[in-house]
Amino acid sequence: MTIQYLLDEHIAPLYRTQLVRQAPDLVVRMIGDPDAPPRGTLDPEILIWCETHNFILVTNNRKSMPKHLADHLAEGRHIPGIFIIDPSKNIGEILTELILIAGASFFNEYQDRFEYLPLSK
């Protein structure tokens, strides 16, 4: 199965625009899209949506998302993964990594864990 990304509502829309422009076959949704959770959806509900629809969450929520993931897993649930971006880093570097990850990852490679992007520091 192909990697799909759900962008948190606090991620700049430019990320989706550029991901789709640079990798047209990549499935990218943003919270608030008609076929994604509505804006204002609580983080635990977003994780359930990602699990149900097989999307990796891309967020900048470094503070509470690791706790939400731990709670989600404690309930016996799973998630394709969470990528926590550093908004102070170059957007081009993060976009490149997201595209490379999508093209070079194994199925379930990031399941039930989170990664901080950029991976290369």
pLDDT at 93: 92
Q: In 3D, which of 117, 79, 67, 78 has the Cα closest to residue 97?
A: 117
CA distances from 27 to 30, 54, 75 (A): 10, 11, 28
The distance from CA 11 to its chain's CA centroid, rounded to whole angstroms, is 10
Residue 103 belongs to domain spanning = 4-117
The answer for residues whose C-beta is within 8 angstroms of residue 15's C-beta and 6 or more apart is: 7, 58, 91, 94, 95, 98
Predicted confidence at residue 121, as pLDDT, reads: 59
* Burial of 92 from C-beta contacts in 10 A (0-12 / 13-18 / 19+): exposed
Say how many domains are in the chain: 1
The pLDDT score that the predictor gives to residue 63 is 87
Question: Could you tell me the CATH number of the domain that includes residue 100?
Answer: 3.40.50
In this prediction, residue 106 carries a pLDDT of 87
Q: Is 79 in contact with 104 (CB distance < 8 Å)?
A: no
- Determine which helix (DSSP H) or strand (DSSP E) holds 69, and give its type and residue range: helix 65-74
- The reported pLDDT for the residue numbered 118 is 84
Q: Is the separation of the CB atoms in 15 and 7 below 8 Å?
A: yes
- Residue 56 confidence (pLDDT): 97
Q: What is the pLDDT along the chain (121 residues), one digit of tens a residue?
A: 589 999 999 999 999 999 999 999 999 999 999 999 999 999 999 999 999 999 999 999 888 888 999 999 999 999 999 999 988 888 999 999 999 999 998 888 999 999 999 886 5
